[in-house]
Amino acid sequence: MLTKKISPLKRVLVLVSRHASHLARQQYDVIVVGGGHAGTEAAAAAARTGAETLLVTQKIHTIGALSCNPSLGGVGKGQLVKEVDALDGLCGRAGDWAGIHFSILNRSKGPAVWGPRAQLDRQLYREFIQAELLSTPRLMVVEGSVEELLVSEPDPEEPGQHRVTGIRLSNGSHPISATSVILTTGTFLSGSLFMGQTKSPGGRIGDAPSGLSHTLKETLGLRVGRLRTGTPPRIVKDSVDLSLANIHPPDSQPVPFSFLNAHTHCKPEEQLPCYLTYTTPGVERVVRESFHLNCHIQQDTKGPRYCPSIESRVIRFPGRAHQVWLEPEGLTSDLLYPQGLSMTMPPDIQLRLIREIPPLHRAEIHTPGYGVQYDFVCPTQLNPALQVKSTQGLFLAGQINGTTGYEEAAAQGVWAGVNAARQALSMPTLSLSRTESYIGVLIDDLLSQGVTEPYRMFTSRAEFRTSLRPDNADLRLTLKGFEEAGCVSSLRYKEAVRVRNTLQDALSALQALAMSSHKWKKMFPQICISESKSTTLSGLELLQYKDITFEMLASAAPECLSPYMEFSQRLKIEAVYRPYCDLQKKEIKRIQKEENMALPQDLDYFTLPVSLSQEAREILHRVRPSTLGAATRLQGITPATIVNLLNYVRHTEQKKRRSHTNKPDQREEREEAAAA
């Protein structure tokens, strides 16, 4: 169902630009600040949920720009892309349209930790996102820079010390009001660019920084930290000797990100390869000789652990040959992206360094690499809806929350957009549990643990990853997205219902297909099935065997299984993981029960009549977990603390229930209070 929406893009851009200087209205339900991956998903999600939405971005033509690596997905990240797509987000379909090299990472391991990934054509991706956004109903896009947030007194009936009621643009125009405001400023929040010993303001080359840090810190009293990241130089493709690098072809059959797409836009034979090479001792020598010329790497600001600069890699792991991937930037692009060579040294030193790598010995740099330092808001100050606890109407998503990566930003953006819209439309906000999605894991990790370095998603962060697989994101989230959140189209919902019903029918058919192990052995002599036990095996149990495929079973029983060939791989994965998922159900129910036990946001932990250590009181006061489940994941919170909180919550709930019926017996109340 790949739909080509690219052709009318120029016409739409002109239309939007004409309206940008004089907005037709000064009141919106939701305003989104920033047009990166978090902002685009937030704006589209808010509009899909039914809110009149305004997206404010510095330059409309940079919406959907891939500021760093021209790729999408990976281990853990691919799961996020699938979940964003299941909630009707943009990035999955954009990746299917713009992908030029598709691969499934981690194939040697189980399907639960496979990582769908694609190299992208920068121009095609940007055009797709822009065309989607600029044709979205209820969404207006305007160019501008936000000078300040409009702040007023809070609603006394809701928690919070402030209320954000809109924005003011730096061009001196009238204030623009909104019930909800989402900040997705990325690396632009007080951003500074570094190259060698040169420092300049900016969030990306050619784009000015955002000056909202002062409002966040001084007016709203939020705790703000500082992080850094960087990007490698872009290399002229014709100047590289690719014969000296190891070629890595794409998968022969590309697997789409989106559940709506059966195929990718790029034909299998049209995909481009990537190339692998390694650093040499000469690279390490150049790094060490130029260390004094690199002010970015000398500072204490934390950078990404899992995507470090070449300077950081040399310092932390001296004497090693580090991988460098040479990746295409587009079908017709004349540039290569050298993943693994992020650097911030002076441009002439960058050229010296890359020429120490054999395939790049005559390489030319088109655009030098640079570093970025930017402010972020400590995410423990947010609630599960990604709203700032102390400020009504203000939501945050993306790198402003301390994460790194397009996928993490998009995941936060779609959920912040949903909740900002629901609040603006007087509907209750929603949360995603870590038991049901990687998005839930991401949000819960940020809220309960905070960040000391840019946060990146991995499958190892999800304790229920056998249930949270890439293949079943639609069944986990699309139905909820339509029935509860209201952000999913009826077209996608109907498809998800069809898939769910068909899979259920297929699993029932497999379960009903039962024979003795002896008969199965005769049917499939090449499979090692024990005949020592006179047991009956169902088709579903047999499908758990490594060498048995659904196609094999369908050929043996075509009358009952052939109608389900469309889902052969999904059924195989479902069969393999069913025993593990069944074992996890009890633990999932326990966590869900804890997450349903809300902790009041105005609770005074310092005076709470419960046996808690001073350290525990300080942690709970600082983080203010929204549920008992969130409290269990805070560092420094002991099991004894959780038990005492649990008793307090139960006691409080019992008092509330009794207050609505009969007046409670005083003696019983004293005994319950003593027990708590």
At 475-520, the pLDDT tens digits run 999 999 999 999 999 999 999 999 999 999 999 999 999 998 888 8
Q: What is the mean pLDDT of residues 294-313?
A: 76
304 has a pLDDT exceeding 50: yes
pLDDT computed for residue 8 by the predictor: 45
pLDDT computed for residue 661 by the predictor: 63
11 has a pLDDT exceeding 60: no
Q: What is the mean pLDDT of residues 125-135?
A: 97
At 24-78, the pLDDT tens digits run 678 999 999 999 999 999 999 999 999 999 999 999 999 999 999 999 999 999 9
Q: How far apart are CA 442 and CA 224, in angstroms?
A: 20
% of residues, the chain, pLDDT over 70? 92
Which residues, other chains included, contact 674 with Cβ-Cβ below 8 Å and sequence gap of 6+? none
Is residue 434 a contact partner of residue 444, using CB atoms and an 8 Å limit? yes
Q: What is the mean pLDDT of residues 213-218?
A: 92
At 543-572, the pLDDT tens digits run 999 889 999 999 999 999 999 999 999 999
At 397-442, the pLDDT tens digits run 999 999 999 999 999 999 999 999 999 999 999 999 999 999 999 9
* Helix residue ranges per DSSP H, 220-306: 281-289, 295-298
Q: What letter would DSSP give residue 597? A: S
83 has a pLDDT exceeding 80: yes
Find where tokens 């009001």 sit. 177
Rounded to the nearest 10°, the torsion over CA 162, 164, 169, 172 is: -60
pLDDT computed for residue 599 by the predictor: 85
In 3D, which of 374, 372, 371 has the Cα closest to residue 224?
Answer: 374
10 has a pLDDT exceeding 60: no
Task: Say how many C-beta atoms besides its own lie within 10 A of residue 94's C-beta.
Answer: 29
Q: How far apart are CA 120 and CA 272, in angstroms?
A: 10
631 has a pLDDT exceeding 90: no
The domain spans of the chain are: 234-371, 506-586, 597-655
Q: How far apart are CA 485 and CA 48, in angstroms?
A: 10
pTM of the model: 0.89
**Higher pLDDT pick, 654 / 524:** 524
C-alpha 206 chain-centroid distance = 26
Q: How far apart are CA 406 and CA 66, in angstroms?
A: 8
End-to-end CA distance of the chain: 58
The CATH number that domain 234-371 falls under is: 2.40.30.260
653 has a pLDDT exceeding 80: no
pLDDT computed for residue 660 by the predictor: 65
pLDDT computed for residue 234 by the predictor: 97
**Higher pLDDT pick, 521 / 496:** 496
**Higher pLDDT pick, 609 / 501:** 501
Is residue 628 a contact partner of residue 597, using CB atoms and an 8 Å limit? yes
The CATH number that domain 597-655 falls under is: 1.10.150.570
Q: How far apart are CA 41 and CA 181, in angstroms?
A: 14
Work out the pLDDT band at 532, boundaries 50, 70, 90.
low
pLDDT computed for residue 473 by the predictor: 97
At 134-176, the pLDDT tens digits run 999 999 999 999 999 999 999 999 989 999 999 999 887 789 9
Q: What is the mean pLDDT of residues 656-665?
A: 63
**Higher pLDDT pick, 378 / 13:** 378
Q: What is the mean pLDDT of residues 290-315?
A: 79
676 has a pLDDT exceeding 50: no
CB burial class (10 A; 0-12, 13-18, 19+) of residue 491?
Answer: exposed
Q: What is the mean pLDDT of residues 87-114?
A: 96
Q: What is the mean pLDDT of residues 372-398?
A: 96
